[in-house]
Each structure stands twice: as C-alpha cells, then as structure tokens.
Amino acid sequence: MVLRIVLGAVYTAMALGQLASLGRMPGILAAYGLVTGAAAISLAVALIAGELVCGVGLLARPRSKALPPVWVFTAVSVVWSLLAVQAFARELTVANCGCFGSYLFQRLSWFVLVQDALTLVYAGLLLRGVRRRPSPPAEPASRESRAVMEEADS
C-alpha cells in the first residue's frame, strides 16, 4: 500500500509539472530524437494523461486491486524508459529529461536510467500484487459431506 501511495504521489506530481509546462513538453520530448511536431504534442498529452490516471488512481484507492491504474503506470514507465534508453544509446544530449516538465529537471544520465529501471521494477511489483488475489474462502461442508467424513473416521 505504501508503494502505491508513493508512486501515485510521484506520478501525479510529474503530471502536474508537465501540465504546467505543456507548451515546452513537445520540445523536451523532441530532444529524445524520436518525435517532433504533432507526434511530440500527442506523446506529451498521452504521457500527462497516463500519469494523471495512474497517479490519482493509486492515491485515491491505495488498497485497490484494480488492474487499470497499474497497467497505465506500467505503460507510462515503459515509454519513459524506452525514450531514455534509446537516447542514451544514441549518445544524444538531453538537457532535461522532462519527468517533471520544466521543474526539477535533470539531464539524461545513468542516474535517470537507474530511476527508470526502478519504475519498471515497481511496475512489476504492482502487477504481481494485483495478480495475487486471495483464494476464495472454503465453503462450509454440507450435511451429507460431513456425514460421509464422520463415517470415514469411524
């Protein structure tokens, strides 16, 4: 539950920072070398919406076993990780990773890659937790089955 609250807070803060920097987000995303123009705008909107959905979802119902916020968290984490890994591998200079828009910026480095790897680990933990559903309670034995069990004991 604590992990859900922390991740919900971080992703909500990311979305709010990016939303406050909406005009700059396409340029920030273009620095990763994959998208420009309308595609960068679309990616920015999708990332912000995804971060808001999963962030608010995880914060609003931290004990929930609902799968949609976890899948959205996973998808957003995968997109950010792919952007970072491919730009790092291509040795692109990304002055602002864009995680919080124009706020709390940091350049793309090994540290950002480690953070992205951790979000993927957290996504795996969340997915594992959602898939672990408690087994249904055992049904009480009927009179007939109790009689059969008593006979077997005699």
pLDDT in tens, 105-126: 899 999 999 999 999 999 999 8
**What is the average pLDDT across 100-107?**
91
* Residue 84 binned pLDDT confidence (cut-offs 50, 70, 90): very high
Distance (Å, rounded) from C-alpha 154 to C-alpha 144?
Answer: 16
**What is the average pLDDT across 61-86?**
93
Reading phi first (left if > 0) and then psi (alpha if -120 to 50, else beta), residue 111 is in alpha
> What letter would DSSP give residue 61?
-
Q: Are 35 and 79 in contact (CB under 8 A)?
A: no
pLDDT recorded at residue 1: 83
The pTM score is: 0.80
pLDDT recorded at residue 136: 52
**What is the average pLDDT across 45-61?**
95
| DSSP-H helix ranges across 61-153 | 67-89, 110-131, 143-153
Q: At residue 153, does pLDDT exceed 80? A: no
* Residue 138 binned pLDDT confidence (cut-offs 50, 70, 90): low
Element (H, E) at 66: none
- 23-34 pLDDT, tens digit per residue, is 999 999 999 999
Lowest mean pLDDT among 45-54, 85-94, 140-149: 140-149
* Cβ atoms < 10 Å from Cβ of 42: 13
